[in-house]
Amino acid sequence: MSDLTAPRRESLPSLLRRALSGESDEDFTTGSIGRAVLLLSVPMVLEMAMESVFAVCDVFYVSRLGVDAVAAVGLTEAVITLVYAVAVGLSAAGTAMVARRVGEKQHDAAATASGQLFLMGLLASVPIMLAGLFFAPRILAAMGGEPALVAQGAGYTRVMLAGSATILSLFTLNAALRGAGDAVWSMRTLWLANGINLVLDPALIWGWGPLPEMGLTGAAVATTIGRGVGVALQLAVLFGGRGRLELAWSHLRPRRAILGRLARVSVAGIGQYLVSTSSWVGLVRIVSTFGSEAVAGYTVAIRIVIFALLPSWGVSNAAATLVGQNLGAGAPDRAEKSVWYAARLNMALMTTVALAFIIFARPLVSVFLIDAAAVAVGVACLRLLSLGNPLYAWGMVLAQAFNGAGDTRTPLRLNVICFWLLQLPLAWWLARHTGLGVKGVFLGVVLAELALTVLGARLFRQGEWKTREI
């Protein structure tokens, strides 16, 4: 652990307290790389861990409403991932630009970039909100939902899509906080948002006390309220100057040059996540041909996988921040070393989780599902996808490293090759022509991730990302 504590001889517990206090004015472009990764990763991992807890608890509550309710959530989530694609793509551009300006010590320019990013997120939410309000039943039907599923899930889908402004705002503002190195405030806002979700979820589903009984729609209302409160806290922190960035109303006035730069970077960023998430939509569509039980089992297994992957994204986000800030400070070699350190840490984390999921797959899935057929699909999905955890660990860090440098085009090209040209055709063929059935879909995912990680590592070593301007 000497790398974590050098050059300051602090104990690991002391560093952990510093990481969670939000009071550190650490310069992440100097000193120990291990220390920098730890100070950024700990709050980011805990931030994503809370998101994981919510995802699992949410499906636990919904599963009590029946298989159709779980399947409706699964089909809606497949569509919502397209919203997440826009949010995460914008966030990649925002984190890169804010981190670069912070590394250059241009803090007012970083605040301006944050304000413009927030505006772009609000504008992007408008067509999504309209689609949800007017076409929710048709969207579920187009995803393969049976009539009973559409009837039960339309309200849930409508509220989730109509509340997309809260999703985009939460992502973009947290991206600005992370880029500045304010990982603790990013963590706190997501903990608040998801904490409210966890309390309101069962209360609105079953109508506790004076609250109305809304069934499945109540889960969507709870989620949207929680996210809205989180956004309010983010704005209070940023406008109140309680972190490393301080926003003023002038930073929200449209700046054509900055919006143009953000757009150029974010288009490829949005594209890369649209490719990856639309491939997940395609996978759900393939799974849906095996019936509602298969969709329900797949949905639960994916929620459990998310429980592991989201904390892993925390380590990946730390790598993106370190790449951006160190490139801004003129230290590209330090940026590269930070990525390899974060990737090794992430692999250790994900391998440990994989072993636990493989061993305890059946009891984990059985917590959320009773139907034997759905449980069987969920167990198979969880075990097969867990085999790819070490691959996901490296792949996520490398993708975020490119994004942190402002090189969003390289991950886009990799995603097109590995997800559209390899994963979807391979998953369909394995499911339909090898006797594997729905298990072929899950095996296709693992093989595609292997290809993505190998190609990503090769391109990263070439080092062209070090010269990317943003």
Express each pLDDT in 281-306 by its tens digit: 788 889 988 888 898 899 888 878 87
**Burial zone of 222 (CB within 10 Å; 0-12 exposed, 13-18 middle, 19+ buried):** buried
Q: How far apart are CA 180 and CA 218, in angstroms?
A: 36
pLDDT tens for each residue of 350-368: 999 999 999 999 999 998 8
| pLDDT of 448 over the 70 cut | yes
Q: In the chain, what are the domain boundaries?
A: 2-467
pLDDT tens for each residue of 376-412: 999 999 999 999 888 889 999 999 999 999 999 999 9
- The DSSP string of 390-438 is HHHHHHHHHHHHHHHTT--HHHHHHHIIIIIIIIHHHHHHHHHHSS-TT
Cβ neighbors of 366 (< 8 A, separation 6 or more) are 375
**Mean per-residue pLDDT, 202-230:** 92
Q: What percent of the chain has pLDDT over 90?
A: 51
**Mean per-residue pLDDT, 303-320:** 83
**Mean per-residue pLDDT, 74-95:** 83
Label residue 22 by pLDDT band (50, 70, 90): low
Query: How high is the pLDDT of residue 1?
Result: 38
Label residue 4 by pLDDT band (50, 70, 90): very low
Query: How high is the pLDDT of residue 400?
Result: 93
